[in-house]
Amino acid sequence: MSAPRQGVISLAIKDKAMLHANYMPFLRGGGIFIPTEKSFELGDEVFLLLTLMEDPERFAITGKVVWINHRTTPGGRQMGVGIQFGGAEGASLQKKIDALLAGYTRAEQSTNTM
Protein backbone atom coordinates (compact mmCIF):
# COMPACT_ATOMS: atom_id res chain seq x y z
CA MET A 1 0.00 0.00 0.00
CA SER A 2 1.40 3.37 -0.94
CA ALA A 3 1.59 6.37 1.37
CA PRO A 4 -1.26 8.89 1.11
CA ARG A 5 -0.68 11.78 -1.23
CA GLN A 6 -0.87 15.35 -0.05
CA GLY A 7 -2.36 18.36 -1.73
CA VAL A 8 -3.61 21.88 -1.20
CA ILE A 9 -7.25 22.64 -1.88
CA SER A 10 -9.30 25.77 -1.33
CA LEU A 11 -12.92 26.85 -1.29
CA ALA A 12 -14.73 30.14 -0.74
CA ILE A 13 -18.24 29.65 0.61
CA LYS A 14 -20.41 32.50 -0.70
CA ASP A 15 -23.68 32.02 1.24
CA LYS A 16 -25.62 29.76 3.63
CA ALA A 17 -27.13 27.73 0.78
CA MET A 18 -23.65 26.86 -0.50
CA LEU A 19 -22.45 26.11 3.05
CA HIS A 20 -25.43 23.80 3.65
CA ALA A 21 -24.83 22.00 0.33
CA ASN A 22 -21.15 21.37 1.11
CA TYR A 23 -21.02 20.89 4.89
CA MET A 24 -20.66 17.32 6.15
CA PRO A 25 -21.94 17.38 9.77
CA PHE A 26 -22.25 13.58 9.87
CA LEU A 27 -18.45 13.22 10.00
CA ARG A 28 -16.81 13.07 13.41
CA GLY A 29 -15.15 16.46 13.76
CA GLY A 30 -17.08 17.78 10.76
CA GLY A 31 -16.05 18.11 7.17
CA ILE A 32 -16.65 19.95 3.93
CA PHE A 33 -17.24 18.89 0.34
CA ILE A 34 -14.91 20.59 -2.13
CA PRO A 35 -16.00 20.69 -5.78
CA THR A 36 -12.90 19.81 -7.79
CA GLU A 37 -11.76 17.86 -10.81
CA LYS A 38 -8.41 17.10 -9.15
CA SER A 39 -7.80 13.42 -8.56
CA PHE A 40 -7.65 12.25 -4.94
CA GLU A 41 -7.92 8.90 -3.22
CA LEU A 42 -9.55 8.01 0.09
CA GLY A 43 -7.11 8.69 2.91
CA ASP A 44 -5.15 11.38 1.10
CA GLU A 45 -4.08 14.18 3.41
CA VAL A 46 -4.87 17.71 2.28
CA PHE A 47 -4.22 21.22 3.44
CA LEU A 48 -7.51 23.09 3.26
CA LEU A 49 -7.91 26.84 2.83
CA LEU A 50 -11.52 27.78 3.54
CA THR A 51 -13.26 31.15 3.51
CA LEU A 52 -16.76 31.40 5.01
CA MET A 53 -19.02 34.07 3.52
CA GLU A 54 -18.09 37.58 4.65
CA ASP A 55 -15.76 36.37 7.41
CA PRO A 56 -12.33 37.96 6.82
CA GLU A 57 -10.64 34.99 8.52
CA ARG A 58 -9.32 32.31 6.19
CA PHE A 59 -9.26 28.91 7.85
CA ALA A 60 -6.15 26.86 7.12
CA ILE A 61 -6.44 23.30 8.43
CA THR A 62 -5.31 19.81 7.59
CA GLY A 63 -7.80 17.13 6.73
CA LYS A 64 -8.27 13.76 5.13
CA VAL A 65 -10.21 12.73 2.01
CA VAL A 66 -13.13 10.58 3.20
CA TRP A 67 -15.64 11.02 0.35
CA ILE A 68 -15.30 11.08 -3.42
CA ASN A 69 -17.89 12.01 -6.04
CA HIS A 70 -16.56 10.86 -9.38
CA ARG A 71 -17.69 12.34 -12.66
CA THR A 72 -20.15 9.44 -12.94
CA THR A 73 -21.69 9.71 -9.43
CA PRO A 74 -25.44 8.94 -9.62
CA GLY A 75 -27.97 11.66 -8.85
CA GLY A 76 -26.18 14.41 -10.73
CA ARG A 77 -24.06 15.34 -7.72
CA GLN A 78 -21.11 17.61 -8.34
CA MET A 79 -17.69 16.06 -8.84
CA GLY A 80 -15.33 16.56 -5.89
CA VAL A 81 -14.09 15.30 -2.55
CA GLY A 82 -15.21 15.40 1.07
CA ILE A 83 -12.55 16.46 3.54
CA GLN A 84 -12.79 15.47 7.21
CA PHE A 85 -11.50 18.24 9.45
CA GLY A 86 -8.51 17.43 11.62
CA GLY A 87 -7.08 18.75 14.88
CA ALA A 88 -8.14 21.57 17.16
CA GLU A 89 -8.50 23.93 14.18
CA GLY A 90 -11.01 21.52 12.65
CA ALA A 91 -13.06 21.38 15.85
CA SER A 92 -13.11 25.17 15.96
CA LEU A 93 -14.18 25.35 12.32
CA GLN A 94 -16.97 22.82 12.92
CA LYS A 95 -18.36 24.95 15.77
CA LYS A 96 -18.21 28.06 13.58
CA ILE A 97 -20.09 26.34 10.73
CA ASP A 98 -22.69 24.89 13.13
CA ALA A 99 -23.30 28.41 14.47
CA LEU A 100 -23.61 29.86 10.95
CA LEU A 101 -26.16 27.21 9.97
CA ALA A 102 -28.16 27.38 13.22
CA GLY A 103 -31.77 28.08 12.29
CA TYR A 104 -31.17 27.52 8.57
CA THR A 105 -34.49 26.12 7.37
CA ARG A 106 -33.68 24.77 3.91
CA ALA A 107 -33.41 21.15 5.05
CA GLU A 108 -35.08 19.96 1.82
CA GLN A 109 -32.24 21.49 -0.22
CA SER A 110 -30.08 18.77 -1.76
CA THR A 111 -26.43 18.50 -0.79
CA ASN A 112 -23.34 17.34 -2.64
CA THR A 113 -22.99 14.23 -0.47
CA MET A 114 -25.96 12.63 1.28
Helix (H, G, I), strand (E, B) or coil at 42: coil
Domains in the chain, CATH or no CATH each: 6-101 (2.40.10.220)
- pTM summary value: 0.84
DSSP sequence for 69-113: E-TT-GGGPPSEEEEEE-HHHHHHHHHHHHHHHTT---TTS--S-
pLDDT in tens, 16-57: 999 999 999 999 999 999 999 888 999 999 999 999 998 888
**55-86 per-position pLDDT tens digit:** 888 999 999 999 998 876 666 678 899 999 99
Burial class of 91 by CB neighbour count within 10 A (0 to 12, 13 to 18, 19+): middle
Report the pLDDT value the prediction gives residue 47, as an integer from 0 to 100. 93
